[in-house]
Amino acid sequence: MLKIGGLDENKINNLKKIFWDKINNPDTTNCNLLTDKDVKSVEVKGKTVLIFKIPNAKRTQKPVHLTRNPFENTYKRNHEGDYKCTKEEVRRILADADTTMQHDSRILDGYTIEDIDLNSLKKYRQLFAAAKPSHPWLVLEDIELLEKLGGYRKDRVTKKQGFTVAGLLMFGKSESITDQECVPNFFPDFREILSNNPDIRWTDRIMPDGTWEANLFQFYLKIGPRLSSSLPKPFQLKDGVRQDETPAHIALREAFVNTLIHTDYTAPGNIVIEHKTDSFMFSNPGTLLVTLHQYYHGGISECRNPSLQKMFLMMGSAEKAGSGVNKIMAGWDYAHWRIPYLQVNQQPDRLTLELPMFSIIPEDTLDVLRDLFGSEVDALGKDELTILATCHIEGEVSNSRLQFMIDQHKTEITRILQELCKQGYLISENKGRWTTYHLNSEGSEYFENRKISMEDTSNNKVDTSNNLVDTSNSKEDTSKNIVNTLLSGKKERLKKEVLHQLIMEDCKEEFKSIEAISKAIKKDVKYLKNKVIPGLVKSGKLERLYPNINHPNQAYKSNL
């Protein structure tokens, strides 16, 4: 356990002086992000400690590094530790920080109009005209239009001119895009996974395969309608005209376009979009240019590829003022689905946005929680239920994950989590900021025992001596007593070991299905199937009749 020693006033003053001297010395660190209000001395358990609040660096301030050399002394936080960035990672951070020269505005050497797919440009004009029919750019020649959009650029200083990375990504021919001069890693990949069969990797896939010009515009034309058609379109009228788009459709389009315009096309990896039966997933290489808090609350626009953003904006398929994420959140809220979740991964840098198509607390999840914890679940508050449901769906939760799911301060979330642990719903692992929580798999037994204990205490009518099993009896007699008690309809408090023994006795003579076991020992089928039987099989106490665990006629027999 951490012991707080505390600091006296002289020690605090000395530490502050050392800190401020070093943080403002460019030979120690290149950038000081802190002000006086970020360094405070506070009382903790009667001891004085010094607390440092480290603000997030702005995009233009990164990388913050030790000494004057960013390539050897830039570190990145990953879970519990700080890890030195590779030189390539530092180069990408520096490129993101330079807002005067964006990724997609780089002029490509040796490219001509022959590298542009004119059919893509023609179709783009049509969508542009449909979105903005009177726009003056529509009458411009191809090169002039591309120059307005950022697909062609003239450098005033060097006098160099030519097609840009954005121009090729949006309208280029496949081989021209993947040339070493442009974006050699470019490989947009759409996967439709609508089968539950683990042997089927996907039910459909669209990727660069030589049958189409694999640029961003053509990818948008192919995938956009597929995504939209997968959502229900309820009959809605506005001013007498049917509305084909709901807020959920708009949210899905925003998520799709955001992926295309925020990808770091210099980073390793490729764009991956997945459509599953219960979710959408949009994943792209790159880092987040704003904090997670800013991302979820919107209003701040930091775009890695502003020319691509402009191209989608002019055909009515993108937002510029930082409201795109707000539309994603609002659209999913309209459909009463779980809040979209952005996952930030490192080494390699990758952003993954998950859009679940099920409610915050799905009915089948609620059924599992009732099986596990009993009817007491229904008396829990909305926040508590959301936490338990998320644990069931995602396997575990953390305070930081929940901050973007429930409308509570992180301190209150900690209190709720600790209370759920105290009540037996959750089990915590690790300590401090790395604490995670998962469902108590022994919840059914725990709550059954607690309920019976409470009934025994309140009624004070049970003669405990009659309920104790004579330990001198054989195991067979013990099992018979329990079986007889269960068959008589009386409640019996079963310890884990006794429950296991009871099941093995019931399956001693023949293979029995879970339904038959459930009926014999009066335990819920789902509870036995999910929480008890797998452990007995794994330990070798039970054997399966069929190797396939999902066989419709699966049955179990005791090995003892």
- Express each pLDDT in 267-313 by its tens digit: 999 999 999 988 999 999 999 888 888 888 776 778 899 999 999 99
Q: Residue 47 domain-assigned?
A: yes
Q: Is the pLDDT of residue 240 over 70?
A: no
Choosing from 41, 73, 97, the residue where a domain stops is 97
Instruction: Kindly indicate the confidence band of residue 204, based on its pLDDT and cuts at 50, 70 and 90.
Output: very high
The pLDDT of residue 407 is 76
Q: Which of 1-5, 210-214, 227-231 has the lowest mean pLDDT?
A: 1-5
Instruction: Kindly indicate the confidence band of residue 173, based on its pLDDT and cuts at 50, 70 and 90.
Output: very high
The pLDDT of residue 161 is 96
Q: Is the pLDDT of residue 4 over 80?
A: no
Q: Is the pLDDT of residue 512 over 80?
A: yes
176 and 265 co-located in one domain: yes
- The residue ranking higher by pLDDT, 338 or 160, is 160
- Supply the DSSP symbol for 49: E
Q: Is the pLDDT of residue 59 over 80?
A: no
61 and 130 co-located in one domain: no
Measured distance CA(171)–CA(152) in Å, rounded: 11
pLDDT digits (tens, 9 = 90+) for 77-130: 776 677 888 888 888 888 887 766 678 999 999 999 999 999 999 999 999 999
106 and 34 co-located in one domain: no
The pLDDT of residue 456 is 53
Longest dimension (CA), the chain: 98
Choosing from 301, 324, 358, the residue where a domain stops is 358
Instruction: Kindly indicate the confidence band of residue 418, based on its pLDDT and cuts at 50, 70 and 90.
Output: very high
> Kind of pairing, strands 241-242 and 81-84?
unpaired
308 and 181 co-located in one domain: yes
- Mean of the per-residue pLDDT values for the chain? 84
User: Distances from the Cα of 85 to the Cαs of 18, 167, 233, 350, in angstroms?
Assistant: 27, 31, 47, 15
Choosing from 358, 387, 412, the residue where a domain stops is 358
486 and 513 co-located in one domain: yes
325-328, Cβ contacts within 8 angstroms, sequence gap of 24 or more: 325/254, 325/258, 325/295, 325/296, 325/298, 326/298, 326/299, 327/247, 327/250, 327/251, 327/254, 328/251, 328/254, 328/255, 328/258, 328/353, 328/355
The pLDDT of residue 426 is 93
254 and 328 co-located in one domain: yes
Measured distance CA(519)–CA(480) in Å, rounded: 15
The pLDDT of residue 444 is 56
The pLDDT of residue 478 is 46
The pLDDT of residue 319 is 65
88 and 211 co-located in one domain: no
The pLDDT of residue 550 is 63
Supply the range of the domain harboring residue 522: 473-558
Q: Residue 544 domain-assigned?
A: yes
Q: Which of 57-71, 385-399, 419-433, 493-507 has the lowest mean pLDDT?
A: 493-507
- Residues of the chain above pLDDT 90, percent: 38
CATH code at position 493: 1.10.10
User: Distances from the Cα of 122 to the Cαs of 126, 128, 221, in angstroms?
Assistant: 7, 10, 13
Beta-carbon contacts of 196 under 8 Å, excluding residues fewer than 6 positions away, are 277
| Count of domains observed in the chain | 4
Predicted TM-score (pTM) of this structure: 0.65
